[in-house]
Every structure is written in C-alpha cells, then in structure tokens.
Chains A and B, each alone.
Chain A
Amino acid sequence: MLTVTDLSVRYGQIEALRGLGLSVTKGSVTVLLGSNGAGKSSTLNAITGLAQPRGRIEFEGVRIDGVAPEDIVRKGIALCPEGRRVFPSLSVAENLHLGGAVHARGEALAARVEAELARFPILRERFHQKAGLLSGGEQQMLAIARALMSAPRLLLLDEPSLGLAPKVVDQVFDLILSLRDQGITILLVEQNAERALEIADRGYVLQSGEMVLSGTGKELAESDLIRQAYLAG
C-alpha cells in the first residue's frame, strides 16, 4: 500500500534520515521504533509532505513525494501528530469539523462527526468544551478522531501513548486494533516498544537516521537488539 524507497530528509546541515526503505501492507499494523532523534517523526513528516524528502514514496501505486500536505490527506493518508496538537481554543466540535471539512459537507459531515462520537463517547460529553481543557487522554482521543474525520485508508500515529496513564494506554492500543479490524491500515511510531510489538504485524527499527532492523513484530520482540535497547528491565 505504501512503499518508501531510499528516503532521505535534511534540515539544513542536519541529515535526519538516510536512505530509508520500508513498506506497509494493506490492512496491517506497521510499527516504527527508535529512540529520540532516530528519524521516526522525519519519516512521517516526509510521508505527509511536511518535510521535503529525497527519494521515492509511493502510495497505492502513485508517487506522493513532494506533494503538499494539504493534498496528501485528500489521497487517503491522515496523520495524528506527536503531542496530540489539538487546537486548544477551539471546541471539540470545531476540531472535529476541521478534520472533515474538506472531505464532506453538511449532513455528510454531521454523519462523520456522529460516527466519531459513537466511537469516542467521552467526546460527546465534552462536545462544546475547548479542546485545551480536556485531559491528556481525552485530547489523544480527539486527535485520533480528528484524523479519522478524513476517512483515511492509511492512518499515521505518532507516539499516541506518550504521557498517558497506563489505563489510557491500554485503550489506545485496543483502539488501534479495532481500527485495523475496520480496514484502516496503521503506521505507528512508538517509544513503548513492548506494547507496540505486541500488536505489530511488521516493525522497523531506526537508529541515527538509518534503518538497522526489520521483521515481524514477533521477530523483533525476540531480537537481541530490541531486548537490550528497549525491553531491558
């Protein structure tokens, strides 16, 4: 579904990503692991058009590298960014509207909002509150719901469990599985390697801008590198 070949990203003098190759199969959960600065977010930024990459990115057989972020989402890819980044002074309703505004209008838009509220009942309770007043977990739900408003076929999730209480982390991972079951392909960036690999069909490990390891979730979970770097203790 998504194929990335020889992808590099530079920010000025700094080379954040070097010659990355990866592929995401339709209907799977693919996990991208790595420490801070390893190039995970750069990968997502390159896919969504926020960063200008060199290399080749193909989505459903069409090249999308160099396409503006506004147009990527129209092609069926949505990003739920790191740190949630909801619009704090806008209400929950407004955040959701903006997520779907270019994809549906009027009743169709209302129906999408309704579908997300059914998925995330807590958002119905908070519907008219400012997003900035929501708890961290609620904001994460809103950020995912907002990304889903564009009805993506590929959902990119950047560190969705960061800073959340263990109970909420469980909810997030359950949600990812249920989204996959509904046919949405997932590319997940995570620091929580143990939990991520439990649900991953496939995983890639990045270090200092380069891919150092890849395999199925099970293979990676058993690999020495992962055990030492992420799962030790």
Chain B
Amino acid sequence: MTRLGRLLSYSAAIALIGGTAFAEDVIIGLATGQTGGLAPFDQPSLAGFKMAIDEINAKGGLGGKYMVTLDIKDTRSDTGATVQAAQELVAEGVKVLITPCDADPSIAAGQISQSAQIPTLTFCGTTPTITDAVGDYMFGTYPADNGQAALLAEHAISKGYKSAYILKSPDSAYTLRLPEYFAEVFTAKGGTIAGEGTYGLGQQDFAAEVTKIAALDPQPDVIMTAAYEPDFPAFLKALRGAGVMAPVLGSDGIDSPTTTGLGEIANGIVHTTAGFPADGTPLGDFYKRFTEATGAAPETVYVATGYEIPYILDAAVTAAGTMDGPALRDALANLEGVQVLTGKVTYKGTNRMPSRDITLVEIQNGARTPILTATPDPASVPAP
C-alpha cells in the first residue's frame, strides 16, 4: 500500500472506531536506521521486535486487547530524517514510538513525541542521559553505559587489578563516557588510572598508541576500553603485536563473532553483554526459536533485546489497562521486575534508563563463557 493509501485507511479506521472501548487496532511507529551507520544495531533489533509483536498479536494483542500494526520508517541513520519520520508518525497517531540505537536521533525524535505525549523507547541506545535530555515520555531499554562500566569496575577490583589504562574516543558518547564511568568507579573502589589514550572512530591504526602503552613503566594491570569493531580488533592486534600482554576489559560493543574470530590474542578478554544464550536459559531457548523461524541464528544479542521491548510494553499496557499516553507513561515508569529473556527489568526508582541484569563473559579459545550475571549495585553506578 502506498503511504497515502495507508494514511487514508488509518484515518478511516480511526473515524469508524471513534475511541470506543472494544478490541482496538493501534499503530506503533518505528523511526529507525534500517540502512546506513545504525543498521548493524537497528536491523537486528527490528527483527526481534517484529517477532514479538507477531506473537503478542496472535495472543490477542498488547494487554490482551490492542492489536498492533507497525509503521516502519527507515531513517537511513540520519538524524534529520529521523526527526521527519517521527513527525510523520506522530501526525499519524501512533501510540508508541521506537527510536534508533543511538543517543542523538533518539533525543531529537523524542522531543517531538514528548510534546505529543507519546511514550517513546530507544532500541538499544545506551547513553544514560538520553531519557533526561528528553523528558518523562522517553525510556531506555538496554543496559546503560554507567551500569556496564560499574560491573566491569567491580570485576576489575575483584580480580585484584590495582592500576588500569583506559582507551577512549571523544567521537561518541559511548566510547568516551563508558571508560570514564569505569575510571570513576574503579578509582572510588581503590584502583588507580595508569594512563589514558585517545583514538578516532574507524581510525583503525593503533600502532602509535600501543607504542606509548608499551613504553609505560610500570605496566598497567588491566586495559579497559569501549572501542568496538573495527577499532577494537585493530587495537588488540596492535597491542599484542607490541608485546603488551595485560588483560583487556571491553563493553557490549565487542559482543560480536569478530572478537572470537581473533584467535589466541582474544583469550582472557572479559566484556559485558546484555545476555548470554546458554542452553536451557530463556535466552538460549529464544535463539533456538528464532533460528527455527528464520533459518538463521541471531547474529547478535540485539535481536533478543529488540524482542523484549514489546513484552515490556505488554506488561505496562496490562498494568495501565489503556494505551493513552500519560497512563502508559506512568505504567512504564512504575514497572518492577518484569521477566524478559535476559533477566529482570525495572524502571521504578530509575530515571527511565532501566535497572536490569548485565552479563559478563570471558573469551577463551574462540568461545565465550558467562562468568557473572548481575544487576549493578545502584549505589556504585555513577550518576549520568
């Protein structure tokens, strides 16, 4: 159907139903980057999201009574196009808006839905300031940067590391702030920062930087970074090539087959992830179901975190009994202990970045092993 045709039929449907109380059709709008720089994150998130919506519709809809139609707009990973898509979706009367896995377009789109009182969730935006930058209709869904950093720092302290080197890039909030949050928690718990390095996103050449690390005396006990590919593998290769053997801590950005594909030099890396699909866990079962349904295993955990969002919404709609903006917002903000694939999700008492389980995995011989799944202690999570 053309966009115009779809709009007309929606308006017709809305006119017919006229706000009566029986089973309703609602639209959820998605303004996400299905092509361009965010596609690696937004594409898998959408795949999971759609699967969950289909399941929920088959069971009678959100809260048992709202049948969901999706209006999916590709923003080409462009913030301007995201704003435009959000405006169109809001004008169309969507009940919920989903925004990309990135802070800037999410904040820009959120400001539009905020004034229209439409609850808005970011796919896997991790920057903890997203929600406060927009307002009370904006919700995160994914483990936030400060939570990941707190868990990594606790792990570093428990391993007895005394000094850490952090590598950060000012090019994105994720690559800059996550290591800084780590440093904050690590020093608060008695560690020291032996040095800091900087790189440019996509720079890929780390020879100069690792030469400086190799020259540090004494050598740091551990090296922490939120670099992801292509930078992380290039950094690690250069680091080990320069003879630096200190253990490396990373964030969920390296939860990718590329990291395990690095072979021996990846041994001992510990990094955070939203969840690990072990056999017999809900996440493991989901991976099997997804594989059966689509013929291909999920390439990343974003498929699962995308899948969880409709179920989080379902819990909120059930609690609110309606999909009206203010009521749904309040219901979401008061959710507590919602069981999803990767653990429990809580919004109550947070700034709408959820408090939720995060998993630490260790890489050995090309495979990951989960070593800890925990919700970071709110007392040690740094303020955004």
Q: Do chains A and B touch in the complex (CB under 8 A)?
A: no
A residues sitting closer than 8 Å to B (CB atoms) are none
